[in-house]
Amino acid sequence: AEEEEEEEDDLDAVPCGQICKHCAAWQGLRTKHCHDCGRCVRRFDHHCFWVGTCVGEKNHPRFVWYLVTQVALILWAFHVSYTGMRYRSTFTALFEDNAGPIMLCFALFIFILFVGSLLGFHVWLVLTAQTTWEVSSKNKITYLRGVPHNVQPFSVGATQNCADFWCRVPPPGYHRKPLRELRVWSTTETVWENRYYVC
């Protein structure tokens, strides 16, 4: 009977945060200590070696714009390289005259796959109000333990998530609904998961 009561309490409990084991600072929900930077970062996404800092609450929108500009730059370079090729009647002559542009187009195609996929992933994160850290470490993060796999606990709908991400000042703190409410929500049908198909 006591175990059932404890489980009931766990379902109604709402986590609020913890003390950081490394810098003794208060970590609200969605905060993580970055060992590379040596500080706690709110709404931690990841430490990016390309930009040399953590991507978190204050610079995540700029990071997404950075990815957009990188994709645009790669597409422009691909266009310039492709239009620089000269037509030849045989494959051998075509490759001899255009070896540089062909190899550059191939390399740029590989880059666009990588950077384009990264941009697509971050757009999905914005639409679902998640972070890379939360997606990759969902089972390790204390405030996400027990949350059903098909529930994003901080999401308020794609439109509102975008508005919050791009236009609003970050909130003073993040709040998660009780597990009982999240589990009820997980059994309702959505566009992505319903009785007809599951994405």
Write 109-116 long-range contacts (CB < 8 A, 24+): 109/78, 111/74, 112/71, 112/74, 112/75, 112/78, 115/67, 115/70, 115/71, 115/74, 116/71
Q: Is 40 assigned a catalytic role?
A: no
Taking the C-alpha atoms of residue 146 and residue 186, their distance in angstroms, rounded to an integer, is 12
Instruction: Compute CA distances 172 → 10, 61, 115, 168, whole Å.
Output: 25, 18, 32, 12
Question: What are the start-end ranges of the H helices in the chain?
Answer: 2-12, 60-83, 91-128, 132-136, 158-166, 179-186
Please return the burial class of 122, using the count of CB atoms within 10 Å of its CB with bins 0-12, 13-18 and 19+: buried
CB atoms within 10 A of CB 32: 22
**Given 16, 20, 34, 48, the catalytic residue:** 48
> Please, which residues bridge with residue 53 across strands?
48
Catalytic residue numbers read 48
